[in-house]
Amino acid sequence: MPVETIAWTGQSVRIIDQTLLPIEVKYLDIGDIETLREAIKSLRVRGAPAIGIAAALGCYLGVRRSAAGDFASFRAELKRVCDYIGSARPTAVNLFWALERIQALADRMSDRPIEQIKHAILNEALDMIEEDHRICRAIGRHGAELLRDGMSILTHCNAGGLATAGYGTALAPVFYAAEQGRRIHVYADETRPLLQGARLTAWECREAGIPVTLISDNMAATVMAQGKVQAVFVGTDRTAANGDVANKIGTLGVAVLAHEFRIPFYVAAPLSSIDMSLESGEQIPIEERNPDEVTHPFGRQIAPDGIEVYNPAFDVTPHRYVTAIITERGIVRPPFTEGLRRVFDEANTRRSL
């Protein structure tokens, strides 16, 4: 990755402010949970895995100065911190996965001194960063099996290094294949309304030396009809146990098009983004965001005053449109209910990656 998306400085959480990219590369050092929550909510740090890591580091920020004298009051404080951070965004399950992981760690240490628990929380968050590097690489290695030299892929939103601590999920196979000397071309959907494709994917690919062509969202059908792309790779914010995939708004349209044009539609999904407690995508909470993002993109009014707006940030692609799900434990093909169950069982028996 050309930049580090999220890191711990020793005192604060350092993120690259993604709202300013690609115009300005600016880092923010965040030392309190109010600023951290705002950074997640306003997409300064975004992308499911990066949000999870930010949340875990946020837990430490929230409790590091706790004066709690016993575990019960410390645990209550930690829960308040988690509930507060968890209220920033509802769809990416990594956020809740990380908060639950931190709370479970604290529960396992209930008989230890509070200072020791605080340190363990920080170490767990730092472990998540290291794990994420390994996960991205493993997804890259598995996903690269689907890429041949000279192929072009289409992606939507940004599921690259900026969305993770490592080098991404959906873009990881491209980076991995490029490391092996294969030439892969990326078509990046601009991704209205917040333009993660134009601002982030295009920037990140260019910085990494990956050939990239930016298209506006309504050009995807044409690009497919003209045979310019041979596969679609997207990330996910939450995938249900049956393989239904929540991802950035517009992903569903891309999946339907890929189906029509018989182009494989691949979803890169770390296990932390798969919610096995949900049977189907219908149960995934979808974030609705401020109408201004649609009517006043980047501060410029483009719609009449007072117009009604619908602004869901994500959509759900039914599993029938998904060719395969690329996890860090391998590629899962339909039927997904069985395949994903098997991967989770394997992960539980052989823990380390």
247 interacts with ligand MRU by CB under 6 A: yes
37 interacts with ligand MRU by CB under 6 A: no
- Give the pair of three-digit tokens for residue 93: 């399950």
Say which amino acid occupies 73: S
47 interacts with ligand MRU by CB under 6 A: yes
The closest alpha carbon to 163, from 43, 24, 244, 82, belongs to 43
Q: What residues numbered 184-203 form the site for ligand MRU, per CB under 6 A? A: 196
Q: For residue 36, how far is the Cα from the chain centroid?
A: 17
**Residue 122 or residue 214: which is nearer to ligand MRU going by CB?**
214
Catalytic, 17? Answer: no
CB of 30 to ligand MRU, least distance (A): 17
- Considering only 37, 46, 137, 329, the residue that binds ligand MRU (CB under 6 A) is 46
48 interacts with ligand MRU by CB under 6 A: yes
Question: Which region, judged by CB under 6 A, interacts with ligand MRU, from 68-76, 140-148, 233-241, 335-343?
Answer: 233-241
The catalytically annotated residue of 132, 189, 217, 237 is: 237
**Residue 77 or residue 287: which is nearer to ligand MRU going by CB?**
287
The closest alpha carbon to 97, from 73, 143, 128, belongs to 128
Alpha-carbon span 353 to 101, nearest angstrom: 17
157 interacts with ligand MRU by CB under 6 A: yes
User: Is residue 208 within 8 Å of 178, Cβ to Cβ?
Assistant: yes
Which DSSP helix (H) or strand (E) runs through 345?
A: helix 336-349
Phi, psi of 11 (to 5 degrees): -130, -30
- Draw the binding track, 116-145, toward ligand MRU (x: CB under 6 A; -: no contact): ------------------------------
**Edge-to-edge, what's the strand order for the sheet holding 330-332?**
212-215, 185-189, 152-155, 231-234, 265-268, 324-327, 330-332
Alpha-carbon span 24 to 276, nearest angstrom: 39
CB of 261 to ligand MRU, least distance (A): 21
Binding site for ligand MRU (CB under 6 A): 43, 46-49, 92, 157, 159, 163-164, 169, 196, 235-237, 247-248, 313
